[in-house]
Each structure stands twice: as C-alpha cells, then as structure tokens.
Amino acid sequence: MFLRKLFTLLLSLAAITTYSQKNFSYTPENPKAGDVITFTYEPAGDLANTMQKVEAVAYISRPKGQKADELVLTQNGKKYTGSIQTDTSGNLINIAFFVDKKFDNNFNEGYLIVLNDEKGNPKKNAYRNMSQFYQFTGPGVGVEKNNTKALECMEKEFSLYPDTKKIFIASYLRLINTVKKDEAPAIVQKEIELALKQGLKDESDYISLESIYVIAKLPEQAKFITSLKKEKFPNGSWTVNEIMEKYYAETDPVKKKGLLDEIVQKANSDDQNWKAIKENIDYYKLLTVSAYANQKKWDEFKKAVEESSVTDKGRLALFYNNTAWEMQETGENLAYAEEISRMATLYAQGEMKNPTSKKPESMTASQWQKQNEFIYAMYADTYAMVLYRTGSYKKGLPYARDAAITINKENSAGYNNTYALLAEKVLPPKQYKKEIEQFVKDGKSTTEMKDILKRTYKKEQKSEAGFDDYMASLQKENYMKMIEELRKSILNEAAPSFALLDLDGKKINVSDLKGKVVIVDFWATWCGPCKASFPAMQKMVTKFKDNADVQFVFIDSWERGENKQKNAADFVLNNKYSFHVLLDTDDKVVEQFKVEGIPTKFVIDKNGSIRFKSIGFDGSDDKLVQELSAMIDLASGNTPKAF
C-alpha cells in the first residue's frame, strides 16, 4: 500500500512538472545547484498576448535565506529567453514573470525548478520549500494558496529525507488536519506512538512530541512532556522562550528594562540558544522604550531612547515614525512628535536618494529602491499629518505631495487624504478642488475629502443644495467601472462549513444563515488595516441592520495573546462597534477559507456559494461602502443602484 501511494504521489508531481512545461522549458533538464540554467518562456495566463515587455525575477531558496536575482530577458517574437546563475547552496527556484503588478502564475502551479545535488537527487529541503511556496509565498507571485499541493510536497520531502520529518512534524500535521480532516486523528495518534517508541533522547525530541500533543488537543499530556523537558534540560532552549514571554508580558517600563538587561547579558554570552536574540537586540531595546510611550511618559521616553544606544538607524526611524503617528492621532505632545517624525522622514529621504544600508539579498535592486521609496512616502505622510495637527500647513504640504502624488501616483486614499487636508489650508480653492475631484473620480477618496468638497461647494454656491448630485456626477464613471469589474470577478465556489462561538458564548453555525447573504470579515485586534476599515464597516452594518436577508459576521482570527476572547470583546466595546464577532481561536476557519492576509472579506449568497472575495483596505471609506454594497446587490441577484 505504501509503495502504491508513493507511486501515485510521484505520478502527481510528474504531471505537475509536465503541465508546467507547455510554455516554459529549461536546460539542463535536471540542473544541479551551481549550474547556469537557460530557459525559454512564452507568456500565458494573465500575461497571454500581452503587448508590454515581460519582466522576471528568480527567487533562489537557500539555507541562509532566499536570494532574488533580476533576470535579463531577450524577446524573439512571442517568446523570451534568459538564464539563471544558481547558488551552490540553493535547492529550489521560483521564477516570477510579470508585467507591472500582474503575474503569470502558470495556471496556479508557479514556475518552479528543483535543484539537484552532485548525485542527481533533489537537494534537501527543496520540496519542503516548495510546500512553503504553495502555503505562503506563492500568493506573492499570483499563485493561489493550495494546501493539498503543499502536503504532497511535504510528503515528498519526507520520502527523500526521512530525518526532516521530526523537524517539520508540526507544520506537517497542521496540513494533515486541514487537508485530511477525517484521517487526521488516526495519523496524529500514530505519530505520537512512533515518537514514544523511538524514545525521547535530546531536547528536540521533547519539543516535537509537545507540538504533536498540542495539535492532538491533549493539553495535559503536552504539559507533562514540557515538565519532563525542563527537568532533563534545565539550561535548554526552552529557557529563552520562557524569559522572552515574561519580557513581552511586562508593561511596567522599569521592570521591562530590568528584564532587558538580563536578556542582553545572556545574548552576549556563549550560549548558542540566545544567538537569534542577540541579532535583534536593537528591536528589544526599542520595545522597552515603547513601554514609556504606552504610559504617556514622554520625558522618560526621550531619555530612554538616548540611553538605549540603538545602532540600527533604520529600525530607530521606523520606531519614531510609528510613535509619531500614534501621537498625532491622540494629540499627545505634538512638538516632540514633530521632532521624531522629522528625524525619521529625513533619514528615509536620504536612504531613498543615497542608500547607506546594505541591500537585502531577498530583493532585487529595483525592488529595494521601490521599498525605500515606499518607506519614505510612509514617513513623509506621518510627518505631514503631524505638521497639519500643529498648524504648519505650508511646511507639511510638500511632504504630503511627495507621498501621495510623486511616489504613490494618487493611488493611496490615505495619503491623498493627508494631501487634501493640507491643500485646503494652503492652495487656492480652484487648484485643490480640481485635485480632490480627481481623487473622487478615481475612487481614491475619503469621507474627509467629501467634507472638504462640501465646504468648498457651499462657499461657491452659497448653499448645499445640489451637492449630492455634484458628488454623484464625480463618482459615476468610477462607480460604473467598478460594477463592470465586479461582474467579471463574480465567483461560484462552495463556502466552507463552520460553527464558531460568538462573544456571548453562543454557537453560530453558518448553515443556519442559509437563505441570507452573508458577509464574512476576517480580522484581528493587532491588524492596522482591519481597524482602519472598521468605521466604513460600521456604516455597512448600520445600513443593512433592518435587512433580514443580509448578515455580517466578523471572524476574529490569527489573534495573539492568551485571552483572545477578551482582546476582541474589549476592542469592539471600546470602539462602540455593533459587530457580531465570532471567535476562530484555533485559526481553523481562516485556514478553510484559504485566507492569505487580513482583512479579507467574503460575500456568500443565499445558496451558500462564495460570490466575492476582497483582500485588504486601501484607506477609502467611500470605496469600501460602495464596493461592498454593490457586491451584496449582485450576490442577492439585484442590479446595483446606479448613480
């Protein structure tokens, strides 16, 4: 039976490889790590028949991390040729072919090349990295998440290199729980029996068995193994986690500083367990400093930063930017917010123009440049908002323009909003009105921009009469375009079945909601874009509160901390949201829906079919309300309301 299953698996993988060669071929046929690979490619999928020049990047997986190489493509008719110099330590190549932000995903297979060792065998961890590709990194190049393929690759890795199973047993069994739910309990139990039979020799054996018991939902057994591990290995790697967990939980700045001193001392010792911590000491120093910010002790905060001796200027700039943004939101110590935001912005501006930091190997030169531009835009937007809060409008406008127009090409509603707020204060109405009107026409506007236009309209017309028609005329073209795109993107996939507890402890089964259009919003309390989208989502909940045929559920997933229910409940209560929150404490439902990032929303029709999937939030409240309203209409079989 085992041989039959293995043969079937190999046939499956061979079929994938053969399928992927229809428009892509390479030599040598079985490349070794270190070889130069030449390839021929003809655009397919979303890039088929494209008139634009295709670009390509090769991502080479290695033990020390992924390396990105920008590829030079030579075009001959419809086909492209190129070459890749592989790394001797590499084991897998993922090639991304793209035009602008659109990828050829090879019919959701990806363009993958396994590298071989000197004996011609696939290198160790090649198929494990392929499993990671189908679970996590694939979506970054347009390949949809596929846990079934991920599991096949993991099993292939184990068949080639059995010793890797113990290392990756936890991620393997989580895949089993997702892909083979009915078989999972028996498989997990078998792994427990095998681990006990082989015996617990070193600390990794105990850690492996701990994780299996946790997956099997046997907490008492897991605790017992943990106690044995601590007794047998009093100075083991577990001590790092225990001290770090205590450090993370501490909120008192003085006590946190005391724990940090202990961590620094251990990190500077010869104990290899602390090596990873040592590489990130600057992060922990700043995390300690942030405890003063959380308590609004700004004098102590400033002193602590000066005494922290942080050497990583990039990390310090990020810390300053994030702190300044929170300060301007609450109006806390704006003079100091301006000081630290300015420092962060000038540093980022310098890095964008003349980088002093080393380019990460995981990025190409152009990707790194774009990242530096993105970082500067983010910091410039923060600085501009701080200056807006302090009334320094003329000083802030150039930075807002850099962020919104020069770098982001008016495509970020959030950055556009900062620019609009400052433009109203600095520019003549004729100029800023035209610019904000364009933001609205492009669907990159916010409620605050609408308010600016209303004020301007009222001054010009001496009345608000006709303003709604004026706004509708601005939004009409983009709205109709949005409807057209939505009609093209309608899905027809069976929604996963699930039952979860809400904040009151009541079990909600999605099957009980059949006959209604259900909007499922995946979120977490730590997710910035999720929280930024909630004012608009509250508008949607209020809009449909009397419609018995529409139901919203907000599924709290990937939540951090021990008391996940309290985290979610406190957040909703403190912000006065009337959301029906369900708790996905085991992160099973978010996995069932194949969510790649949050926020992600699904619109499920009355028959239980997913009709729409929306990922992320671009900062435009108006766009979210319009788009989601149209999705609900279409899922209900209605014609979206036209302007």
Catalytic positions: 527, 530
Look at residue 463 and give its three-state secondary structure. coil
String of DSSP letters for 59-124: EEE-TT--EEEEPP-EEETTEEEEEEE--TT--EEEEEEEETTEEE-TTTT-EEEE-B-TTSSBPT
Contacts of 606 (CB under 8 A, 6+ apart): 514, 515, 516, 517, 549, 635, 636
Half-sphere exposure of 618 (CA within 13 A, CB side): 20
The CA distance from 188 to 173, in Å, is: 7
- C-alpha to C-alpha distances, 245 to 11, 314, 343, 420, 545, nearest whole angstrom: 46, 25, 32, 43, 42
Give the DSSP H or E segment for 494: strand 493-494
For residue 45, the tally of other CB atoms under 10 A from its CB is 15
Contacts of 174 (CB under 8 A, 6+ apart): 215
Q: Is 65 left (phi over 0), alpha (psi -120 to 50) or beta?
A: left
Q: Are 422 and 400 in contact (CB under 8 A)?
A: yes
Q: Which of 113, 99, 91 is nearest to 141 (CA)?
A: 99
Q: Which of 526, 529, 509 is nearest to 518 (CA)?
A: 509
Strands 517-523 and 550-556: parallel
The sheet carrying 36-41 orders its strands as 24-27, 36-41, 79-85, 74-76
Type of residue at 311: T
Contacts of 524 (CB under 8 A, 6+ apart): 530, 556, 557, 558, 559, 560, 598
3-state helix, strand, coil in the chain (%, to 5): 55, 15, 30
